[in-house]
Structure 1
Amino acid sequence: MSKMPTPPTLPTATVRPILDMNAYDGQVSAKADQGNDLLMRRTRNVGAASVLFYRDPIEMVSASGCWMTASDGTNYLDFYNNVPSVGHCHPQVVSAMADQAARLNINSRYLHQTTETYLDRLKATFPDHLENVVLTCSGSEANDLALRTAQRGTGARGIIVTECAYHGNTATVTDISPSAFKRGKLPDHVVSVPAPGKLAYGDDIAGGFADAIVKAIAVLSDRGHGIAALIVDSIFSSDGVFSNPRGFLRLAVAVVHRAGGVFIADEVQPGFGRTGDAFWGFLRHDVTPDIVSMGKPMGNGFPMAGIAVRPELLAAFCEDVGYFNTFAASPVAAATGLAVLDVIRDENLLANAMICGKYLREGLQHLADIDGRISDIRGAGLFLGVDLSPNGAPEDANGQLVGDVINAMRRHRVLIGAAGKYGETLKIRPPLCLRQSEVDFFIEALGKSLRECG
């Protein structure tokens, strides 16, 4: 099959906040909504804060492995949700959760064997200098604690992020999440830099990104804030997924350390083996984080998160305020987290992420050879970003095509999300238990969807 002809250059695309990507718009579908009592109840109950996927939202009732089932009986292949990372409703994780809940569940102010066993196992995945782990219930809480710890430890306030970063939704963390903003701008103590891609930095991504960090530090110094931390999601998920070349973060982290700041590796999305070649995303870059935040896949759907941190930084923070979380580090959380680590090990899910990730990438490249609108494929393991551009030019990114493809794939029973400054990137994050037959199903659905959106 020959490659598609290249259409003309498109108008400049519109920047899209992360929650607007593939989101239900109640105004557009108001007439259809009148026959959907559940949707009307959701809108009435949650109001303006309601966020739902798809132009026609889906009611889900069950899930297993890589599949979710809707109320009408339709089975969907989940290529979006990295929360149930080892598979939806994994029986070993569910059993551990339920068994512990039936015996004891209490806050962390009591000693419990399972809690310490879990923390020891978790710490063994980190470099030795990250000796302390503090558990929270969400990635937002983890990043909030990480920022406060960094600012206390350095005596500075300034934070550097990438320009489409998303790190959570507390007040402190929303301030460093540009992709969450629908209006307004970053506060004075936060400076953003372009994501580490070729469009911004050409062929020298490591050098260009490090130079951008140097300039950002100078801006923070001029504003009187100094540099407290560089925080990045180590696969730059919301920016559009930027993973390579391996090691490109080293120069930037060295710049931050020389300036007296700390490096916070946000592993909420790439952590727990998703990249296949490393348990944590930062390990692909041979860098030394001072703090690592984690969440989402940690409990495979149970609300778990936390930070791993240098003891001296945590000690300084606790001199002022300390930290306690009622529901974190409970026996049920520890039992659940321990089961997740067991499943990752026993089912060889890192190796599966590498093998299925390679097979998936080959399928995507085959589609790119056929359809010139696939302008780039990036990522590692089972975390990939696929840019779509109506004319095939990366610089002419536009989220409209991605939105159309996402909704077409829903018709072909595949769930997938979007990322990037303009929503121009298909964000691919299936559960780590993915099988090659499911990759085939996905590639076939994507090919059909692209043809329908021609």
Structure 2
Amino acid sequence: MDLLEDGGGGASRLGASLGARLAQADPGDRDVAGVRLDEAVHRAQNGFENYLDAYNNVPAIGHSHPAVTAAVGAQIATLNTHTRYLTDPVVDYAERIVAKFPAPLERVTFACTGSEAVDLAIRTARYGTGNRGLIVTEHAYHGTTHAAAQVSPSLGPNNPVGDHVALIPSIDTARAPAHEVATRLLDSVSAAIADLNERGHGVAAVILDSVFSSDGVQVEPAGFLAPVVQAVHDAGGLYIADEVQPGFGRTGEWWGFQRHGIVPDLVVLGKPMGNGVPISAVVGTVAAQERFGSEVRYFNTFGGNPVSIAAATAVLDVIEQDGLVEHAARVGGELLSGLQSLMGDYERITDVRGAGLFLAADLGSRDAGLSPDPELAARVVNALRDEGVLISASGPAAATLKIRPPLPFTSNHADLLLEKLELVLRRETRA
């Protein structure tokens, strides 16, 4: 279900030169690396193929956005140093980004990748609380550094989590009554807290992706995370919101955690922050960061370097100037309505849900257990690619269609996606 297919390109040469890889397709899949990427739609230009990108959340404001390319080019032509040298744009950006968060989230530390930021958040929580235990969902993905991989069970059985990590069941809002979602999650977290205390680790933090992307995109009902924050605080731990995927306006609000009416202790930022230029951050409260910040030496050679800061500043500028947060809410609502309509026509769609431009559709059977159909999901994803539309699949059974386009995705793009999805469903689900 990756974007690779055969043709003698990169896919066929993966094993010859690349080492460890995450979720690349098997050799023999077609290579679509030769794609011109511009804004939300890949333009047919210079022999490149044309794709509607409804999946890539890294180029948040659109592929090759001129504001980012201009800012990066100007900065790298002027000055780029490691971070022992402080430049005004770094401070300017720090002030702007923390202003996007509710009080008391008012300190930011920069890194290069989401994995690094998760690692840093874990270190901060452990040092500040004196505890080691961490709680994540059983299909979570939070990164690939040593510490982040240990809280990423979705990496598979050969990437075991440590004894200090307690796994809780994945949230499944399609199968749980809405009024029970918060209670079930709280019960799971409470049991994990007791387990970690019994093992002698205590609780340093609960780490949750605010939209539970690898758990199948779970966003409803709004507010179900609030009891968890209170429970982890009562246990002496911190709440870490992983906003690497939902952050920067994708959910129709600046941050995915906002729909739950909570204020995390630490927030992890990454992927879309620099529109593809590597930069990440941990934003936190003074209380959560003070001890680590004053007693532990932290240095990151490239974390918050001038070029990456220039890219990140351009991203903020475009999101604000183009009203992309409100745009994501509006177009995402249109797309969700369209998916709901398709669900009424195709019984193999068992649930649809979404927040802004982060949407999901489960494929399976409408039996008592809503049995998932990962084979159908794979066929739909690949058939859509053949129709020139890029999405992917997620969830415990890989049977959830995951849709998360660049934020400039328009109503016309949404209509085209729905048109192609209906075409593929009609073809793939007929008897």
Greater relative contact order (Cα < 8 A, sep 6+): 1
Deviation at 1:380, TM superposition (A): 0.4
In the superposition, the TM-score normalised over structure 1's length comes to: 0.89
Aligned equivalents of 2:376, 2:395: Cα separation in 1: 13
Corresponding residue of 1:409: 384
- Give the 4+ runs in structure 1 shifted more than 6 A: none
Identity %: 45
Specify whether residues 47 and 288 from structure 1 end up closer, same or farther in structure 2 by C-alpha distance, changes over 3 A only: closer
Corresponding residue of 1:59: 33
Residue 360 of structure 2 is aligned to residue 388 of structure 1: no
Specify whether residues 256 and 111 from structure 1 end up closer, same or farther in structure 2 by C-alpha distance, changes over 3 A only: same
Corresponding residue of 2:238: 262
Aligned equivalents of 2:363, 2:110: Cα separation in 1: 38
Contact 2:9 2:31 in 1 (8 A): no
State the Cα RMSD in Å: 2.0
Corresponding residue of 1:230: 206
Letter of the 2:11 partner, please give it.
L
Residue 90 of structure 2 is aligned to residue 149 of structure 1: no
Residue 90 of structure 2 is aligned to residue 90 of structure 1: no
My pick for the range that moved more, 196-205 or 331-340, is: 196-205
Corresponding residue of 1:205: 181
Specify whether residues 48 and 132 from structure 1 end up closer, same or farther in structure 2 by C-alpha distance, changes over 3 A only: closer
Residue 301 of structure 2 is aligned to residue 329 of structure 1: no
Residue 76 of structure 2 is aligned to residue 76 of structure 1: no
My pick for the range that moved more, 208-217 or 123-132, is: 123-132
Aligned equivalents of 1:170, 1:148: Cα separation in 2: 12
Specify whether residues 51 and 43 from structure 1 end up closer, same or farther in structure 2 by C-alpha distance, changes over 3 A only: farther
Aligned equivalents of 1:207, 1:51: Cα separation in 2: 34
What SS does the aligned partner of 2:214 have? coil
Aligned equivalents of 2:35, 2:347: Cα separation in 1: 38
Which of these residues, 288, 295, 305, is aligned with residue 313 of structure 1? Answer: 288
Corresponding residue of 1:123: 98
Contact 1:100 1:331 in 2 (8 A): yes
Deviation at 1:74, TM superposition (A): 1.9
Deviation at 1:233, TM superposition (A): 0.5
Residue 83 of structure 2 is aligned to residue 108 of structure 1: yes
Specify whether residues 155 and 45 from structure 1 end up closer, same or farther in structure 2 by C-alpha distance, changes over 3 A only: same
Contact 1:264 1:290 in 2 (8 A): yes
Contact 2:214 2:395 in 1 (8 A): yes
Aligned equivalents of 2:282, 2:408: Cα separation in 1: 26
Which of these residues, 263, 279, 289, is aligned with residue 304 of structure 1? Answer: 279
Deviation at 1:40, TM superposition (A): 3.5
Q: CA deviation digits over 1:412-441, x for unaligned, max 9? A: 100001110010111110111011111111
Specify whether residues 270 and 218 from structure 1 end up closer, same or farther in structure 2 by C-alpha distance, changes over 3 A only: same
Letter of the 2:110 partner, please give it.
L
Following superposition of structure 1 onto structure 2, how do residues 154-233 of structure 1 map, counting pairs within 5 Å? Answer: 154-183=129-158, 185-198=160-173, 201-203=176-178, 204-233=180-209
Contact 1:390 1:401 in 2 (8 A): no
In the superposition, the TM-score normalised over structure 2's length comes to: 0.94
Specify whether residues 38 and 384 from structure 1 end up closer, same or farther in structure 2 by C-alpha distance, changes over 3 A only: closer
Aligned equivalents of 2:277, 2:20: Cα separation in 1: 26
Corresponding residue of 1:281: 256
Letter of the 1:408 partner, please give it.
A
Letter of the 1:219 partner, please give it.
D
Letter of the 2:388 partner, please give it.
R
Letter of the 2:38 partner, please give it.
S
Which of these residues, 52, 74, 79, is aligned with residue 99 of structure 1? Answer: 74
Aligned equivalents of 2:336, 2:258: Cα separation in 1: 21
Residue 13 of structure 2 is aligned to residue 41 of structure 1: yes
Deviation at 1:69, TM superposition (A): 5.4
Deviation at 1:48, TM superposition (A): 5.0
What SS does the aligned partner of 1:443 have? helix
What SS does the aligned partner of 1:88 have? coil
What SS does the aligned partner of 1:423 have? coil
Specify whether residues 318 and 354 from structure 1 end up closer, same or farther in structure 2 by C-alpha distance, changes over 3 A only: closer
Aligned equivalents of 1:449, 1:23: Cα separation in 2: 17
Contact 1:375 1:392 in 2 (8 A): no
Corresponding residue of 1:247: 223
Deviation at 1:319, TM superposition (A): 5.0
Residue 396 of structure 2 is aligned to residue 424 of structure 1: no
Deviation at 1:147, TM superposition (A): 0.5
Letter of the 1:108 partner, please give it.
T
My pick for the range that moved more, 40-49 or 287-296, is: 40-49
What stretches of structure 2 of length at least 5 have no aligned partner?
none
Which of these residues, 429, 433, 446, is aligned with residue 408 of structure 2? Answer: 433
- Number of paired residues? 425
Deviation at 1:108, TM superposition (A): 1.9
